[in-house]
């Protein structure tokens, strides 16, 4: 990374989005990691209670004659996908900068890959379909927003049941249908790992934290990040986001604590190390900062 040794006031902070952690969940985060009193109450509802809730308009769409006819002719899985992403009446668009719950994505007719996965899952659950979430192993795509760098990884969704591996053929087994929005090149060859629903919820909360931080709404960003940490205490990403928020807010010791919590979950987390070493220098610990900076230099950094 070419900006690693720029003056501290110009150093970017790194925020990861749409990533998760597959390790066993550690204990809940200690209360000392949070400083609620330093932030104003949130200006919006924080949480994911309604993440998969269908709005009245969505419920009406599910009950519409055109939708039910499509399900009869195409089957539930393919009929759902045709209805959502191939019919001209919805005209859903991809919006990389917006993470929304299912109802918000449907109303806006747009969302990023996480939003589209959530909306698809909401409809699928209404139809009684089995859903499975996947993180796709793709090269991180970074973008800059002021002094922040954001990375968007990739998730997709599978509908139906996997065919058991020990069966060569079973015409009664339901076929799993993988749905990928804006799939990367050679998507079928890329490795995936399963995400449970708790991880997916934490990704949504973390994305909202990053997006509100970019908008300058630091108080709301804190509450979103706090919720993400509680939703998935195993997620290094959520702790890193919390650390970035503390650093922007001037709570430097707490920022260090959050970055170290991230590294405690994922010792090789480059994003957290990128943020921690200049913070250590700013806190008057140059030897620690230099040691960590040298470690970072030995790892391929995210591109500028």
Virtual torsion, Cα 118, 121, 122, 128, nearest 10 deg: -170
Which of 67-70's residues contact partners 24+ apart within 8 Å by CB, and which partners? none
pLDDT score of 56: 98
Can you give the residue ranges of every domain in the chain?
A: 8-297
Mean pLDDT split into 10-residue runs, the chain, 304 residues: 26 48 55 93 97 97 93 92 79 82 94 92 95 85 79 84 44 66 69 91 94 95 97 92 96 96 92 93 94 86 51
pLDDT in the model for residue 167: 39
> 3-state class of 242 per DSSP?
helix
The reported pLDDT for the residue numbered 168 is: 39
Closest listed residue to residue 256, CA positions, set 269, 244, 270, 268 = 244
What's the confidence (pLDDT) of residue 175?
67
Q: How far apart are CA 99 and CA 153, in angstroms?
A: 13
- pLDDT attached to residue 243: 96
Confidence at residue 146, expressed as pLDDT on a 0 to 100 scale: 79
Residues contacting residue 95 through CB under 8 Å, at least 6 positions apart: 108, 110, 111, 112, 115
Task: Give the pLDDT score at 185.
Answer: 66
Identify the pLDDT of residue 151: 76
Which pLDDT belongs to residue 257? 96
The class of domain 8-297 in CATH terms is mainly alpha
């Amino acid at each position: 990374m070419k900006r690693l040794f720029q003056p501290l006031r110009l150093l970017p902070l790194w925020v990861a989005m749409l990533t998760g952690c597959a390790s066993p969940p550690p204990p809940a985060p200690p209360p000392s990691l949070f400083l609620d009193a330093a932030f104003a109450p949130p200006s919006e509802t924080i949480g994911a209670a309604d993440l998969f809730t269908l709005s009245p308009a969505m419920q009406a769409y599910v009950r519409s004659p055109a939708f039910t006819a499509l399900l009869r002719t195409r089957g539930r899985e393919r009929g759902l996908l045709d209805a959502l992403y191939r019919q001209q009446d919805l005209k859903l668009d991809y919006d990389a900068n917006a993470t929304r719950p299912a109802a918000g994505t449907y109303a806006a007719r747009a969302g990023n890959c996480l939003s589209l996965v959530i909306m698809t899952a909401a409809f699928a659950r209404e139809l009684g379909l089995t859903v499975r979430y996947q993180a796709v192993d793709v090269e991180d795509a970074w973008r800059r927003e002021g002094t922040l760098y954001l990375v968007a990884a990739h998730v997709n969704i599978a509908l139906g049941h996997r065919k058991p591996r020990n069966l060569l053929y079973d015409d009664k087994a339901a076929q799993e249908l993988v749905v990928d929005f804006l799939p990367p090149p050679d998507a079928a060859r890329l490795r995936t790992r399963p995400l449970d629903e708790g991880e997916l919820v934490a990704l949504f909360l973390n994305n909202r934290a990053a997006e509100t931080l970019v908008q300058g709404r630091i108080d709301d960003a804190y509450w979103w990040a706090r919720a993400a940490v509680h939703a998935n205490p195993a997620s290094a990403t959520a702790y890193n986001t919390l650390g970035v928020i503390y650093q922007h807010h001037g709570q430097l010791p707490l920022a260090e604590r959050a970055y170290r919590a991230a590294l405690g979950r994922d010792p090789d987390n480059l994003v957290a190390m990128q943020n921690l070493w200049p913070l250590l220098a700013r806190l008057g610990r140059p030897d620690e900062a230099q040691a960590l900076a040298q470690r970072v230099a030995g790892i391929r950094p995210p591109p500028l």
